[in-house]
Amino acid sequence: MKATLEIHNKKIEVDFSKPLDISIVLKDSEKNPLAWYLEKPSIEPVKMGDWTGKVSEGASVNFNTIQFNPHAHGTHTECFGHISKEFHSINESLKTFFFLAEVITVTPENFREDEIISEEIIKKALAAKSPEALVIRTLPNNSKKKEKHWSDSNWPFLHEKAALFLRNIGVKHLLIDLPSVDKERDEGKLLAHKAFWNYPENPRKVCTITEMIYVPEHITDGAYLLNLQITSFENDASPSKPVLYKILE
C-alpha cells in the first residue's frame, strides 16, 4: 500500500506493505540477547492452586506472566529519565512516532583497549546529512547479534564527541545495534548519553536513544521513514519496535 506523506514540509512516498522491522524478538530462551549480567527473561503461565493458565494443561486460556528488563533483554527505547535524578517517563517523552531517518553502517576503530565510533566516522558516513533520526549499524554484522550475550564483552561504543556532534546537527532519535551507546564499564560516566541528551545542563526531553536493534544486510544505507513504536510504560525505558519504510524515488 503506497502512500504519500508530508513530514517537516517534505513530501515522501513509502510502501506500507513492505515494513522493515529492526527490532529483536523477546523470548523465554537462552537464545534471547542478554546484557548487564542478567539471566534470560521468563514467560510462564500463572499458577493459582491447582489451576495453571495454559490451554494444553486444561485451562480455557493461555495466561502468562512475563518478567524482563527493557535495558537487558532486547530492543528498547529510553528517554533522559534513564540518567536523571528525577523520574521521567518514555511514555511522556515520545509523543510522535514517525520520523525521517538515515541508516548508516560504520566500522568502529581501535582506541587503546576499546573500539569506538568516533566523530570522524559518523561525519564520513553521514556525508553532511542531518536527519531527525539516525540508525547505526556496526560491523561486523550478522544475525548472531539477535541472540548475543553481551555481558563482559566490552562492546564498541559511541565517543562523547560523536554524540555531541549528533546533538549539534539536530538528531533527535538515535538507534544503535549495541546494548548501550556508552562503554560497558565506564565508572558511571555515561558520557555519550549525557552529551546526546545535553544532561544535566538543558535536557533534550523529547529525544530518545534506542539500543539493541538489528539491521540485516538486505537493508541498505540511505533514507527511510521510521515508525518508532513503544509500549505505554511509565518508566525511563520501554521495549520497542522500530520499523523502517524505504522512501521511494
**pLDDT tens digit sequence for 145-161:** 999 999 999 999 999 99
Mean pLDDT computed over 7-27 = 94
Query: At the topology level of CATH, where does 2-29+72-246 sit?
Result: Glucose Oxidase; domain 1 (3.50.30)
What pLDDT shows up at residue 10? 84
Grid cell at residue 56: 494444553
pTM of structure: 0.97
Listed in sequence order, the DSSP H helices in 63-190 are: 90-93, 119-126, 160-168
Domain boundaries, the chain: 2-29+72-246
CB 221 within 8 A of CB 148: no
> Distance (Å, rounded) from C-alpha 166 to C-alpha 169?
5
Using CA of residue 200, residue 173, residue 98, residue 150, what is the dihedral sign?
Answer: negative
pLDDT tens digits along 24-35 = 999 999 999 999
The SS3 of residue 77 is: strand
Q: What was the pLDDT predicted at 118?
A: 98
Task: List helix spans (H) across the chain.
Answer: 90-93, 119-126, 160-168, 191-197
pLDDT of residue 7: 85
Query: What residues contact 49, with CB distance under 8 A and at least 6 apart?
Result: none
